[in-house]
Structure 1
Amino acid sequence: MSVRQWTRDLSMGARFAFTGGREGWLRVVLTAVGVGLGVALLLLTTAVPSALSVRHERSEAREDYTYSQHPPAKADNTLVIADIDTTYHGKEIRGRLVEPDGPRAPLPAGVSAYPGPGEMVVSPALKNLLDSGSGRLLRERLPYRVVGTIAESGLIGSRELAYYAGMENLAPRINGWQVARIAEFGSPQRTQERSDPVLLLLVMVVFVALLMPVAVFIAAAVRFGGEQRDRRLAALRLVGSDSRMTRRIAAGEALGGSLLGLVLGTVFFLAGRQAAGSVEVVSISVFPSYLNPSPWLAALVAVAVPAAAVLVTLLALRGVVIEPLGVVRTAKPARRRLWWRLLLPVVGLAMLYPMFDQGRSNGDFNQPLVIGGVTLLLVGVTALLPWVVETVVARLGGGGVAWQLAVRRLQLSSGTAARLVSGIAVAVAGAIALQMLFAGVQDYYTKNSGRNLFRAQMEVSATQGAALNGATDKFSATKGVLKATVLSEASIGDASWTDGEGPDLAGGATVGDCAALREVARMSSCRDGDVFALRGGQFDADTAKMVRPGRELHFQTSTGMDHYEDVPWTVPATLKSARSIEDPRGERRSGLLMTPSAVPARVAASMGGSVYLSIDRSVPDAHEYVRNTAAAIDPMTSAYAWVATEESKKFTSIRTGLFGGAICVLLLIGASLLVSQLEQLRERKKLLSALVAFGTRRRTLSLSVLWQTAVPVALGLVLAAAVGMTLGAVLLKMTGTPVGVDWPSVLAMTGMGAGVVLAVTLLSLPPLLRLMRPDGLRTE
């Protein structure tokens, strides 16, 4: 067969798709909408790597730490900058205090000029928040006058909350980790961090699991209008076309719908791309300019979708006999073969088997094998589902009229019913496997924080002792605070600190009033001026060796980065002993305990420390009141709420990406399934009208349609659960993690799939009722 003949037949079919009258146009539009939704999500997926790359580049470009022990000397091209990030109502706010040393100080991306003292430039999202009623408490925390906004080039997302505020006298507080002097912005060269094989495996499986339902829906969409198309093909046979030419013309019709779907998909993508700038999903936002698909990936989508439309149509018609007087589809079809359907998941398992027990210590997982194996297992769902539906419904019978109507329809067209829910089944199977994998490996990336949340729920850290003066009273007077405990810390050793290398006493010195010290130790008596040597801590031997009455020790004070002062101090003869207990952080301290008047004044002024706070959870915004008090005491204090567990940021970001992608896929599933359902109802319009005309109750017909959806959905979800748990167990075996079924996740994912189908069924009821009218028998 020549290429010319193929081209002529395909183009003829494409013309038929657009010149078939109202019915033809409706069929093409339904196909195009279904394909377009899938194409839009594929384009969005191809744009994800670009968006992540741009976010990373912009984050690196505005990096403001040198990670050096030798910052540049003050010059007219240097800048002093301080990190004062904060949180408001669960959202992270990126904050920086800036003090340019001269007119040529480097400007961060997106900022045209530095704000003066008491002024700030803010991101558009932060400006909107500050101007709104919900930003009242935040305005108290940021008492700076807004004089400008940060441009897009200086932000990593459209909804990012960020600001730069001007401040004076930052230089004396340079410490190399919170306050630094820099000569340029940008991340310094660092050693490449070794990638985590398990995290890479998670990323690969997430992409495959999210994209497979999209591919399944596109394949199903190009087969819309199958029964009406077959009647037209019979007419073509009547006027002289042979069976092969007829199939190529049918493929041309699908090609025309898919090409229109590419156009609609591009439009949907551009509309969604523009809307992406105004939404935030699981704390992630992007600018529309981020979502630029890679040209070669976009070209691959543009070629693959029409090619898939042609191939799917040819494969679908392979077992259909098209004759001049009709299509042999209503006769009992040949029984579907099971062996090749089982072969797909078996081959998938064989591809994954060599990586069993590889874990995290034996290098990266083989990417082609992982992607191929997971894909074949998920494709196995779509291959097995038609056989399962056909086998089960063939044995069904009896029951009421609605049930019998539904069963008979399923027995005549079980393949159509299976296609309708195959996307749901694939999505649920992938989601179950991912949830099992996440649940199995999360212990590797989650650790107990050790914090005692019964004794304190928030902590405020300060780098200067002056900031802690009177902090107990200030925080105790803060709304929502039940108790405030202030503990400062100082470094102490048995030799001079002038070179910054003194022999440190393990545990150092902990300073606080008697009530605060009783939070970390048991003591017989305490009054201001007392000093205690701790026993029962981790470094008892070190304390016994260095802390003896009359011995001279040396406090270390810092006047800036690499600038240390030595303060001699003699251990008093009245030294007491105290027994260490777990502090609010869950640690047992070592070294010295000192009351405030026992500390030399020069040491007290430079000590850093923490305030441990017990919060009244019944007070709304109690955490925000604490953060406001902390900012009023010193803008460079860090206030954060304690949590019982801490998770790896990379692990959390991958899971966040999964949730964002799952939301998009669920929306696609719902929209595509609704289009599929409407197309099915439209094809059966005359049949429904005939049944109504013969006296069948609408309630009976509605129930029959519901059963026609419920039976294949139930079978699909059972199959999806089985395949999903199998894939999840295989992935856990690959990571060297004990295999266990996360039943709450299995039930939740299955319930979500059933919920989407239920919602689509309810939305399709109004059109169904309109179709069940006797005048639907009218024809032209």
Structure 2
Amino acid sequence: MNVRQWSRDLGMGVRFAFTGGREGWIRVLLTAVGVGLGVALLLLTTAFPTALAVRDQRNDARQDYTYGPNRPKAANTLVISDEDTAYHGSDIRGRLVEPEGPRAPLAPGLSKYPATGEMVVSPALKDLLDSDAGKLLRERLPYRIAGTIGEPGLIGSHDLAYYAGAKNLAQHLDGWRTARITHFGPPQVTPRDKTDPVLLLLVLVVFVVLLTPVAVFIATAVRFGGERRDRRLAALRLVGSDSRMTRRIAAGEALAGSLVGLVFGTVFFLLGRQLAGSVEIVGISVFPSYLDPSPALAALVAVAVPAAAVLVTLFALRGVVIEPLGVVRTARPRRRRLWWRLLLPLGGLACLTPMIGNGHTSDFNEYLVVGGVLLLLIGLTALLPWAVEAVVARLGRGGVAWQLAVRRLQLSSGSAARMVNGIAVAVAGAIALQMLFAGVQGDFTKATGQDTDRVQMQVNLSRGLPFTQAAEKFGATEGVRRAVALGSTELGDRRFSSDRGPENSVGLTVGTCAALREVADLPSCRDGDVFAATGGDRDADVAKLARPGRTLHANTSDGLRDGRDVVWTVPGGLKQAHAITSPNGIKESGVLMTPAAVSARMGSALTGAVYLTLDESVPDVHEYVRNTAARIDPFSDTMVYAATDRSAQFSSIRTGTFAGAVCVLALIGVSLLVSQLEQLRERRKLLSALVAFGTRRRTLGMSVLWQTAIPITLGLLLALTMGLTLGTVLLKMVKSTVSVDWPSVLSMTGAGAAVVLTVTVLSLPPLVRLMRPEGLRTE
């Protein structure tokens, strides 16, 4: 057939779609809404990598860590201090700033720096501070709000950040927390680390798993109203069109719906893009301007969706005989064949099998991975119609509702399978991802060594601050059961300087007898004692330096400048002690001192740390501690202890996966509702006729529930099998132990069932309206 004939037939189908009366418009609208939802999610997905890249660029642009040498004060210098904090689990980026000249670099998003005692904040932080939920945070940030940070200085619409004006920051310069800078941005261009092959595998599988249900739904949406359309096409046969021409006209109708769907999808995308600026999903927020799809990918979507609509329609009509007097569909159809449906998942396994064991190397083939996962998931959509047909053909007798549901499924098992295909693919992919994440998380999670039973928080204080008095204030804080303070520095065989250090050094820890017992096993102790603790990694240094009569030098250098020399002579009555693991997980040899043995000059060289045991049942206990720390020392650093620490890349991929899963589940829920309403509309006259003959509405409602429950049960069972298979293969690829996290697997299966149950409940009110006798009217 030539191109002109194809174009003419497709064009006729497009005209029929828009000029076929109310039925034609309804079908076009249903198809457009379904396709539009899928297109919107595809566009959001294509824009997601761009959004993450823009977030990274914005974050790099506001970097103020230069890691450079100490700069002298000049007209173009700015002293900036890191005052990051956290509030109710959310990180807050805080900076104290003091411009030292008229050409001091201006932070992105600011028009000028705030005066001393004032701050400029992000819009999200301003809303938080103005709300009742920000009461404790306002105590920690005693600055007057003088303005807001512009979008160029933020990484997302829910970014919590502030810049506060300060003075005399230069005396706190240490090159790490407080620095003098001349520009913002990354300190130097460094090559990015190569992505771990396992992380690359995760990214590939995540994209395939999240996008396949969308593609399945778009393919389903273009077949909305198929039965009514085929009956209308019989009239075309009556006036002389052949079967091939009729199929092309039907494809033209689907093409019309998909083209309108592209328009709807663009509108939905723009609405979703705007909505994205007001929501935060698992800690990620973006500005609407971030969601800018790649032109090439957007063009691919614009071409692929209409092409898929035509191909799917032609494929669907291959088994339908459209004759001049009707559609031969209700006769007993030929049983679906199983052999070719098994080829798809078997082909997927054949693609993935060579990759087993190569997941930890850079030799694995990305195309085989993507192709294998795609074939397995698409194989699920091919197997489900066969499974539904095979099972419902053997279902026995039951009540009236059961019989109505079973008979309907026996006559149109394909429609029922198409309705649950998307949810089955999503659940299968989610199960495989859960298994893969659970299997490899150990590779990206390391133990911190922190003893969370002994200590739950640690507060690091500035050098020279009286840490014993600070511990008393922390002990009086609400929710704190115990506060232990220790001071520390280094002792060397010669003076510490920024350009040259001592040849040998050993750690010095100062605290009360009770505090020192947190880091060493002491034979006996009273104030004024000095101990040499051994049993750690630096026993040789302790033996060399901790000799009575030897003069040692305390570390007073902060890396940028040298303090005055502080010396200490090892006393003769040095006691021996055995080092034990401290609350922060470190077992270190060194010198231990009680307060009475520490001179005033030595005390100025000590950096204090307070270890806190908390009553976790007290609400906001962490915030009370942070507020106390801010009052004692604005430059303090608070840490919440955790038994493990997880890779940032792994966590970001997992977070992005959950964000995508939320969007996909929302789409599937809406798509199922549209599909359910379309099927109810197709059967409006039948439902009205049953009610007119005396069938109870409750019976019809139960029949609709059974029609949904039977295929979704089969779909979830098949999804469980396919998901476990795919998860097992993926785990073997990364050489991880094959194990099933049954709570996660069952929760994903339950989530799929919950979506279907919710859709069924929402479809009951329209069902009641369709069962009215007025539905028997015809024109």
Q: 1:506 to 1:83 in 2, by over 3 A?
A: same
Give the aligned partner of residue 184 of structure 2.
Answer: 185
Matches within 5 A, 1:467-482: 468=467, 470-482=469-481
Give the aligned partner of residue 215 of structure 1.
Answer: 215
For residue 577 of structure 2, what is the amino acid of its counterpart? A
| Paired residues, number | 778
Give the aligned partner of residue 372 of structure 1.
Answer: 371
Deviates more, 1:2-11 or 1:595-604: 595-604
> Would the aligned equivalents of 1:458 and 1:641 in 2 still touch at CA under 8 Å?
yes
Give the aligned partner of residue 441 of structure 2.
Answer: 442
Query: How far off its partner does 1:427 sit?
Result: 0.2
For residue 268 of structure 1, what is the amino acid of its counterpart? F
CA distance in 1, matches of 2:503, 2:530: 18
Q: State the Cα deviation string for residues 176-203 of structure 1 (Å, max 9, x = none).
A: 2211111111112224312111111111
> Would the aligned equivalents of 1:173 and 1:560 in 2 still touch at CA under 8 Å?
no
For residue 120 of structure 2, what is the amino acid of its counterpart? V
> Would the aligned equivalents of 2:466 and 2:608 in 1 still touch at CA under 8 Å?
no
> Would the aligned equivalents of 2:462 and 2:633 in 1 still touch at CA under 8 Å?
no
CA distance in 1, matches of 2:309, 2:183: 53
Matches within 5 A, 1:296-695: 296-360=296-360, 362-363=361-362, 365-466=364-465, 468=467, 470-498=469-497, 500-503=499-502, 508-558=507-557, 561-563=560-562, 565-695=564-694
Query: How far off its partner does 1:499 sit?
Result: 6.0
Give the aligned partner of residue 20 of structure 1.
Answer: 20
For residue 179 of structure 1, what is the amino acid of its counterpart? T
CA distance in 2, matches of 1:671, 1:499: 64
CA distance in 2, matches of 1:572, 1:130: 54
CA distance in 1, matches of 2:623, 2:669: 39
CA distance in 1, matches of 2:359, 2:461: 41
Give the aligned partner of residue 200 of structure 2.
Answer: 200
> Would the aligned equivalents of 2:555 and 2:605 in 1 still touch at CA under 8 Å?
no
> Would the aligned equivalents of 1:465 and 1:488 in 2 still touch at CA under 8 Å?
no
| 3-state DSSP of counterpart to 1:486 | strand
Q: Does 1:5 align with 2:18?
A: no
> Would the aligned equivalents of 1:491 and 1:504 in 2 still touch at CA under 8 Å?
no
Give the aligned partner of residue 290 of structure 1.
Answer: 290
> Would the aligned equivalents of 1:174 and 1:560 in 2 still touch at CA under 8 Å?
no
> Would the aligned equivalents of 1:556 and 1:603 in 2 still touch at CA under 8 Å?
no
| 3-state DSSP of counterpart to 2:639 | strand
Query: How far off its partner does 1:66 sit?
Result: 1.1
| 3-state DSSP of counterpart to 1:186 | coil
> Would the aligned equivalents of 1:440 and 1:740 in 2 still touch at CA under 8 Å?
yes
Q: 1:123 to 1:100 in 2, by over 3 A?
A: same
| 3-state DSSP of counterpart to 1:318 | helix
CA distance in 2, matches of 1:359, 1:248: 46
| 3-state DSSP of counterpart to 1:628 | helix
Q: 1:8 to 1:156 in 2, by over 3 A?
A: same
Deviates more, 1:490-499 or 1:636-645: 490-499
Q: TM-score scaled to structure 1, two decimals?
A: 0.98
| 3-state DSSP of counterpart to 1:558 | coil
| 3-state DSSP of counterpart to 1:563 | coil
| 3-state DSSP of counterpart to 1:557 | coil
> Would the aligned equivalents of 1:62 and 1:154 in 2 still touch at CA under 8 Å?
yes
Query: How far off its partner does 1:571 sit?
Result: 0.3
For residue 542 of structure 1, what is the amino acid of its counterpart? D
> Would the aligned equivalents of 1:549 and 1:571 in 2 still touch at CA under 8 Å?
yes
| 3-state DSSP of counterpart to 1:496 | coil
> Would the aligned equivalents of 1:534 and 1:592 in 2 still touch at CA under 8 Å?
yes
Give the aligned partner of residue 44 of structure 2.
Answer: 44
CA distance in 2, matches of 1:454, 1:33: 55
For residue 315 of structure 1, what is the amino acid of its counterpart? F
Q: 1:132 to 1:15 in 2, by over 3 A?
A: same
CA distance in 2, matches of 1:609, 1:87: 21
Deviates more, 1:516-525 or 1:240-249: 516-525
> Would the aligned equivalents of 1:451 and 1:585 in 2 still touch at CA under 8 Å?
yes
Matches within 5 A, 1:45-64: 45-64=45-64
Q: State the Cα deviation string for residues 229-259 of structure 1 (Å, max 9, x = none).
A: 0100101100111111111110011111111
CA distance in 2, matches of 1:305, 1:359: 33
| 3-state DSSP of counterpart to 2:96 | strand
Query: How far off its partner does 1:297 sit?
Result: 0.8
For residue 57 of structure 1, what is the amino acid of its counterpart? Q
CA distance in 1, matches of 2:369, 2:178: 45
Query: How far off its partner does 1:562 sit?
Result: 4.4
| 3-state DSSP of counterpart to 2:778 | coil
> Would the aligned equivalents of 1:71 and 1:182 in 2 still touch at CA under 8 Å?
no
> Would the aligned equivalents of 1:557 and 1:603 in 2 still touch at CA under 8 Å?
no
> Would the aligned equivalents of 1:500 and 1:564 in 2 still touch at CA under 8 Å?
no
Q: TM-score scaled to structure 2, two decimals?
A: 0.98
CA distance in 1, matches of 2:591, 2:503: 12
> Would the aligned equivalents of 2:498 and 2:558 in 1 still touch at CA under 8 Å?
no
RMSD of aligned alpha carbons: 1.5
Matches within 5 A, 1:759-778: 759-778=758-777
Q: 1:168 to 1:606 in 2, by over 3 A?
A: farther
Q: State the Cα deviation string for residues 600-623 of structure 1 (Å, max 9, x = none).
A: 323322322311011112221111
For residue 375 of structure 1, what is the amino acid of its counterpart? L
| 3-state DSSP of counterpart to 1:113 | coil
Query: How far off its partner does 1:565 sit?
Result: 4.4
For residue 288 of structure 2, what is the amino acid of its counterpart? P
> Would the aligned equivalents of 2:468 and 2:485 in 1 still touch at CA under 8 Å?
no
Query: How far off its partner does 1:385 sit?
Result: 0.6
Query: How far off its partner does 1:423 sit?
Result: 0.2
Identical columns (%)? 70
Deviates more, 1:537-546 or 1:722-731: 537-546
Q: 1:605 to 1:469 in 2, by over 3 A?
A: farther
> Would the aligned equivalents of 1:205 and 1:374 in 2 still touch at CA under 8 Å?
yes
Query: How far off its partner does 1:295 sit?
Result: 0.8
> Would the aligned equivalents of 1:506 and 1:539 in 2 still touch at CA under 8 Å?
no
Deviates more, 1:207-216 or 1:689-698: 689-698
Query: How far off its partner does 1:545 sit?
Result: 2.6
Deviates more, 1:186-195 or 1:46-55: 186-195
For residue 226 of structure 2, what is the amino acid of its counterpart? G
Q: State the Cα deviation string for residues 674-702 of structure 1 (Å, max 9, x = none).
A: 00000000000111111112222222211
Task: List runs of 5+ in structure 2 lacking aligned partners.
Answer: none
CA distance in 2, matches of 1:286, 1:493: 50
| 3-state DSSP of counterpart to 1:57 | helix
> Would the aligned equivalents of 1:27 and 1:225 in 2 still touch at CA under 8 Å?
yes
Query: How far off its partner does 1:504 sit?
Result: 6.3
Give the aligned partner of residue 744 of structure 2.
Answer: 745
> Would the aligned equivalents of 1:81 and 1:98 in 2 still touch at CA under 8 Å?
yes
CA distance in 2, matches of 1:391, 1:186: 63
CA distance in 2, matches of 1:185, 1:695: 78
Q: State the Cα deviation string for residues 690-734 of structure 1 (Å, max 9, x = none).
A: 111222222221111111111110110011111111111111111
For residue 292 of structure 1, what is the amino acid of its counterpart? D
> Would the aligned equivalents of 2:506 and 2:541 in 1 still touch at CA under 8 Å?
no
Q: 1:111 to 1:553 in 2, by over 3 A?
A: same
> Would the aligned equivalents of 1:420 and 1:673 in 2 still touch at CA under 8 Å?
yes
